[in-house]
């Protein structure tokens, strides 16, 4: 009897039969997605208490195995068995916007493509970016301080766009080009977050895809020019990078990676910075302590300070992204049947790791819902109890390539802010504000604050 050859794992439909696991799916179609948007901690807390570390849930249109234990996180992210596809995890939610990006590639192909980005994040390149970022941050923060008040979230987004065009892709004739690129980029980001996903004119999603197409064409057209230039932006580094065989990477791949990189870099850092400002504005004494600390730093920060040491300002960054990880869910899909925590997980099953609850697991974190940067100090180092209980940047082969960049950006921005000003809410009694949790956490009203000179 003839049997049809089995399809490759990336062409098979997802398994939706998880009836043998404990858990609940929720409403037809939407499952628990709305509950997750409203209050992710309560939702995942309920699953943890009722069903333990492995259960079934339906979110983002997928029936998933929900994992709530650092051991299981480690197993999936380290993926020693090559059984947890990152590409198939993200495919069902972000395929149109992430296409060609690093998370849409698995194993050997992923390793090869990660090579395109490697040199852009090495120390000499990072030093160049630091100088550029510092200059932009200084003028921008001074402009913020000139205003009676600012919406921190909106201003931070704009600052990061300015940085993106200077550091990621510097262009001549920027006055003419940058506004168009900004529009396309903003459309793409808004489209990627759209709930109604129709590629039909009039829909936000369609505008997003048009933005993506425009940006990709923009980068493709520039590859040869950048390759021949001695520009030191991230894009120019990508263009000049070569494969192990000494060949340049394909133009199309470079353009896809640029588009993905800009998406991956932007909202994540905007959310982290906004939430840090939100907590700091509530803690004047902590701001004063931090100000004393950063004012004692030399103008030119050492490599160690920027990238490695855990200083009190970095404690604030780490604690902010513990409480509100900018990538709140990590998604994977099994390739073969396997077993996690004693539970059988069939092939082609979506696996969901909610970092926003792993970071608050009551059995691992002390008083998990309170903002306490000192838990990251050398003396306490609570996150070191398990290598996979604090995973804002993921882990394993797909660990965030921009992690050091994000840290540098945070340090340079907040050194300027905290060292020279006190950040204050515009409204008395503002804290705790109403937060939006998805897709990125931020105060719903964009965080109105003023900067008061020290």
Q: Looking at beta carbons, which residue is closest to ligand HEM?
A: 402
**Which value, in Å, is the radius of gyration of the alpha carbons in the chain?**
22
| The two three-digit tokens of residue 350, written as one number | 């979506």
The only residue of 321, 323, 335, 361 in contact with ligand HEM, by rule CB under 6 A: 321
Q: Is 306 in the site for ligand HEM (CB under 6 A)?
A: no
Q: Is 394 in the site for ligand HEM (CB under 6 A)?
A: yes
Instruction: Determine the Cα–Cα distance for residues 97 and 4; give it in Å rounded to an integer.
Output: 33
Shortest distance in whole angstroms from residue 111 CB to ligand HEM = 9
The only residue of 326, 328, 368, 419 in contact with ligand HEM, by rule CB under 6 A: 326
Shortest distance in whole angstroms from residue 4 CB to ligand HEM = 32
Shortest distance in whole angstroms from residue 398 CB to ligand HEM = 4
Nearest CB to ligand HEM, comparing residues 125 and 184: 125
Q: Burial, 186: exposed, middle or buried (Cβ in 10 Å; 0-12, 13-18, 19+)?
A: middle
Nearest CB to ligand HEM, comparing residues 307 and 422: 307
| C-alpha dihedral (202, 203, 209, 215), degrees to nearest 10 | 60
- Helix 312-323 / helix 284-295 crossing angle, nearest 10 deg: 140
Residues 6+ apart with CB under 8 A from 246: none
| The two three-digit tokens of residue 353, written as one number | 């790791």
Shortest distance in whole angstroms from residue 256 CB to ligand HEM = 11
Instruction: Determine the Cα–Cα distance for residues 318 and 442; give it in Å rounded to an integer.
Output: 16
Instruction: Determine the Cα–Cα distance for residues 388 and 74; give it in Å rounded to an integer.
Output: 6
Q: How many CA atoms lie within 13 A of 34 on its CB side?
A: 6
Instruction: Determine the Cα–Cα distance for residues 156 and 412; give it in Å rounded to an integer.
Output: 13
Q: Is 169 in the site for ligand HEM (CB under 6 A)?
A: no
Q: Is 206 in the site for ligand HEM (CB under 6 A)?
A: no
Shortest distance in whole angstroms from residue 103 CB to ligand HEM = 4
**What would the x/- binding string for ligand HEM be over residues 337 to 376, using CB under 6 A?**
----------------------------------------
The only residue of 68, 400, 417, 423 in contact with ligand HEM, by rule CB under 6 A: 400
**What would the x/- binding string for ligand HEM be over residues 262 to 281, using CB under 6 A?**
--xx--xx--x---------
Number of residues that bind ligand HEM (CB under 6 A): 24
Instruction: Supply angle C-alpha 195, 348, 93, rounded to 5.
Output: 15
Q: Is 98 in the site for ligand HEM (CB under 6 A)?
A: no
> Across-strand partners of 150?
449
Stretch that binds ligand HEM, among 45-53, 344-352, 366-374, 394-402 (CB under 6 A): 394-402
| C-alpha dihedral (41, 43, 48, 52), degrees to nearest 10 | -150
Chain residues 109-138 in contact with ligand HEM, contact rule CB under 6 A: 114
The only residue of 57, 277, 406, 418 in contact with ligand HEM, by rule CB under 6 A: 406
Nearest CB to ligand HEM, comparing residues 57 and 450: 57
- List the one residue out of 102, 62, 101, 96 whose CA is nearest residue 205: 96
Chain residues 225-264 in contact with ligand HEM, contact rule CB under 6 A: 261, 264
Instruction: Determine the Cα–Cα distance for residues 272 and 256; give it in Å rounded to an integer.
Output: 25
- Give residues in contact with ligand HEM (CB under 6 A): 86, 102-103, 114, 261, 264-265, 268-269, 272, 321, 325-327, 330, 392-394, 398, 400-402, 405-406
């Amino acid at each position: 009897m003839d049997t049809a050859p089995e399809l490759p794992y990336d062409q098979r439909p997802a398994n939706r039969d998880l009836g043998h696991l404990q858990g609940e799916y929720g409403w037809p179609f939407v499952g628990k997605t709305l509950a997750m948007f409203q209050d992710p901690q309560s939702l995942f807390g309920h699953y943890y208490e009722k069903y333990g570390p492995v259960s079934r849930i339906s979110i983002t249109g997928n029936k998933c195995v929900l994992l709530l234990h650092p051991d299981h996180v480690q197993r999936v992210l380290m993926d020693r068995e090559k059984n947890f596809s990152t590409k198939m995890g993200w495919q069902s939610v972000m395929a149109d916007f992430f296409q060609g990006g690093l998370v849409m590639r698995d194993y050997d192909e992923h390793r090869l493509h990660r090579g395109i980005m490697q040199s852009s994040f090495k120390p000499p390149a990072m030093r160049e970016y630091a100088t550029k970022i510092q200059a932009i941050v200084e003028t921008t923060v001074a402009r913020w301080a000139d205003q009676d008040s600012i919406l921190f979230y909106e201003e931070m987004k704009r600052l990061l766009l300015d940085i993106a065009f200077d550091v990621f892709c510097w262009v001549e004739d920027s006055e003419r080009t940058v506004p168009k690129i900004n529009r396309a980029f903003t459309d793409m980001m808004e489209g990627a977050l759209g709930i109604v996903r129709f590629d039909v004119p009039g829909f936000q999603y369609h505008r997003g895809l048009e933005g993506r197409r425009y940006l990709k064409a923009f980068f493709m057209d520039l590859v040869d020019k950048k390759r021949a230039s001695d520009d030191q932006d991230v894009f120019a580094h990508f263009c000049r990078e070569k494969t192990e065989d000494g060949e340049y990477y394909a133009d199309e791949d470079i353009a896809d990676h640029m588009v993905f990189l800009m998406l991956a870099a932007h909202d994540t850092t905007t959310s982290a910075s906004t939430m840090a400002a939100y907590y700091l504005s509530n803690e004047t004494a902590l701001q004063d302590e931090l100000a004393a600390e950063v004012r004692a730093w030399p103008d030119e920060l050492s490599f160690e300070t920027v990238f490695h040491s855990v200083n009190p300002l970095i404690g604030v960054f780490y604690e902010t992204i513990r409480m509100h990880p900018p990538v709140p869910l990590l998604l994977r899909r099994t390739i073969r049947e396997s077993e996690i925590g004693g539970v059988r997980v069939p092939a082609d099953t979506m696996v969901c790791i909610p970092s926003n609850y792993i970071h608050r697991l009551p059995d691992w974190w002390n008083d998990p819902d309170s903002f306490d940067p000192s838990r990251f100090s050398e003396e306490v180092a609570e996150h070191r109890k398990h290598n996979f209980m604090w995973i804002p940047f993921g882990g394993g082969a797909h660990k965030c390539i921009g992690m050091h960049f994000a840290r540098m950006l945070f340090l340079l921005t907040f050194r300027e802010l905290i060292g020279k000003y006190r950040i204050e809410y515009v409204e008395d009694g503002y804290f705790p504000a109403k937060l939006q949790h998805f897709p990125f956490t931020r105060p719903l009203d964009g965080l109105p604050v003023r900067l008061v000179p020290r």
